[in-house]
Structure 1
Amino acid sequence: MGAVFDAGRVREAVREYALSLPEAREEFPWGGSVAKVNKKVFVFLGPDEDEDRLRFTLKLTDQDVHADALAAPGAEPAGYGLGKSGWVTVPIREGIPPVEVLCEWIEDSYRTIAPKRLAARLDACRPQLPS
């Protein structure tokens, strides 16, 4: 029998990984959580109260990675016109890729938003991907 999917655990693993990246910090605008680097959001984590609506939104500029993210169950271009710039919203639900892949997407978004000097730091001391 397979393990029961735990959306809250997945959200927390993604959040922890995002905040482990160089100079990342968490803020709470608009009633939800975001991870920022250099005053810019690289992942919207949203509110965590309603486990049935857990999701995250990130910017993916690599076409293959962007296409993979959009192929996740329920994923769609982000609202408010952000989808036109490569932002994708991925619901945290059964059938999405493993946490390791989600964290790779978080890292791609971070690299897109972070200054080059911080991306270089990431190359020098890559955080451990959760399992």
Structure 2
Amino acid sequence: MDRRAVRDYLLSRPEAEEDFPFGPDVAVFKIKGKMFATVGRLDGVDCTNLKCDPDEAQALRDIFTGVIPGYHMNKKHWNTVLLDGSVPDYEIERLMDRSYGLIVRGLRKVEREALELAYGADTIYR
């Protein structure tokens, strides 16, 4: 996946918004004001930071050379995924969905239930 495809996919998630609080080089994707992804560059390579379950985060790092501890993030809960072709597109999409779902689960109950009602739980937690 390239940077543009990642951006488009992240923005396709219900009520996802793009922001640039760290300057024009790092796009931040949020749901209800909570960050679920960033897209930027690391050592000249496009990449995305995604929230992840801590146990799964380490397993992914062991499996894929293009998954490393979250750059400038809590390394227990975030991974940086290099968009260099080393991680299959379907896996990147799964990780983006998982990151979004983890943040939605952490929203206030009223916000979470409104999203589930409007879009369906299957869409939110795919």
Q: Is the structural similarity TM-score above 0.5?
A: yes
Q: Counterparts of 1:17-36 in structure 2 under 5 Å? A: 17-31=9-23, 32-36=26-30
- Which residue is equivalent to 1:6? none
Q: Counterparts of 1:67-82 in structure 2 under 5 Å? A: 67-70=58-61, 71-80=63-72, 82=74
Percent sequence identity is 28
Alignment TM-score, normalising by the size of structure 2: 0.74
Q: Give unpaired runs (5+ residues) of structure 2.
A: none
Structure-2 separation of matches of 1:17 and 1:108: 13
Cα pair 2:49 2:71 within 8 Å, conserved:
no
Structure-2 separation of matches of 1:105 and 1:122: 20
**How many equivalent residue pairs?**
114
- Which residue is equivalent to 1:92? 83
* Moved >4 Å (runs of 4+): none
Alignment TM-score, normalising by the size of structure 1: 0.71
Q: Does 1:101 align with 2:102?
A: no
Q: Give unpaired runs (5+ residues) of structure 1.
A: 1-8, 127-131
Q: Using the TM superposition, give the Cα deviation of residue 26 of structure 1 relative to its aligned residue in structure 2, in angstroms.
A: 0.4
Between Structure 1 and Structure 2, the one with more strand by share is: 2
